[in-house]
Structure 1
């Protein structure tokens, strides 16, 4: 799935976690932002596709494989490898907690107490990170066969081909809707006293359910292994499905938005 939807899914996760915080606007914004970071970070393993990877990184490290070969392989550092695992999310959040503890250097509490103090921030990051992995599971197998969810296990999970890599405009709109509604709820809590946690969780679960329905009702099998000569055909079919789902007008707006972006969407 595209990096924008992944990132916004992390933001949506962050709005849920922020609903459990009694802190002010700045803290809640930080919680939401960390969710977005968690949602985006797994695709850092696509770095090997950078045009300068072979010239700079590959040459400096004397790598025996090109960046493209690394990306489409099943090394632990390939796409859908280590960084697409629950192990990576926990390790990264641990390193983050250690860094925060070291920077703060507050002798009044230890590392565990520091983690507890910032637990909602770390939870938001992990939540956003794991959503990214879940969203990649219904995409095609391609050369990976899913994501290496339980690294260092060699088993890859997903790759079911229920959705195409891109053009999942309906999922994007659902995620955006969750963010807007939950942000409104968080703002409303500043003026009206109510338990916002139940509402933000409910909105997220509704969005999650709607996304699952959309994923499972495409009515077309995008599954393939390795590389496929039908890539353009699948791309066109994905857009055709979106046009049927969204209608001419909304689909047209999403196409305009898509064409303005410099990333795959």
Structure 2
């Protein structure tokens, strides 16, 4: 899945948790760390960077070029250690030591990280066969191919809408803290269920198909699900972004 949707998922998680924060500073920190957690696992894709071999590869004397590392099943390959619960727990633990009295911050990071893993588990298996969820186990989990890596506009729109509602609820906390928190939490889980429904009702399996075939099929699904004007707007956004979306 694309980094934009991953990060926005973290915003939804962080926004929900920040409803329980005391100060605006803590709210902002929780939101930022959740967004960071939901984007960070893909740092293991750095091996695709054109300067990887001349810098990181040389410093650590790596035996394989970056492009090979990316698609391999090494612990530092894509979908390796950084796509595991152990990585999520380890980094969240460190954050917990740093922010001892602010438990929402490491919690936000952890749940943001975990939602990234869940989202990647429903994408094609690729050369890995899923993610190393239970690292150091060498078993890869997921890779179901329910969705394509890109062009999941419907999912992005639902997550965007949920995030906006939850963030807007922050303004009403002073009027009815208990019920606003309840509404925010319910909104998040309704959004989660809608996304699950959108995933499960895709009738095409993207595993083992040519790249362009998957691209075309993914966009075909979006054209059927979205109003024409909305699809065109999303396609324009897709083309304008400097990364895969």
With normalisation by structure 2, the TM-score equals: 0.96
Give the drift of 1:63.
1.5
Aligned mates of 1:217, 1:243 — CA distance in 2: 15
Unaligned runs of 5+ in 1: 102-113
Unaligned runs of 5+ in 2: none
Aligned mates of 2:177, 2:86 — CA distance in 1: 39
Alignment of 1:237 onto 2:237: no
Aligned mates of 1:52, 1:177 — CA distance in 2: 38
- Partner deviation per Cα, 1:77-135 (whole Å, 9 max, x = no partner): 1000100011000101122233x26xxxxxxxxxxxx2xx2111111100100000000
Aligned length: 245
Contact 2:88 2:113 in 1 (8 A): yes
Q: Which position in structure 1 is the counterpart of 2:78? A: 79
Q: Which position in structure 1 is the counterpart of 2:61? A: 62
Alignment of structure 1 residues 125-204 onto 2, 5 Å: 125-204=109-188
Contact 2:96 2:103 in 1 (8 A): no
Contact 2:95 2:105 in 1 (8 A): no
Aligned mates of 2:19, 2:79 — CA distance in 1: 31
Q: Which has the larger radius of gyration?
A: 1
| Deviating 4+ runs (over 6 angstroms) | none
Secondary structure of residue in 2 paired with 1:241: helix
Aligned mates of 1:171, 1:13 — CA distance in 2: 15
Give the drift of 1:192.
4.6
Q: Which position in structure 2 is the counterpart of 1:255? A: 235
Give the drift of 1:184.
1.1
Aligned mates of 2:169, 2:118 — CA distance in 1: 26
Q: Which position in structure 1 is the counterpart of 2:25? A: 26
Secondary structure of residue in 1 paired with 2:204: coil
Contact 2:10 2:38 in 1 (8 A): yes
Give the drift of 1:195.
2.7
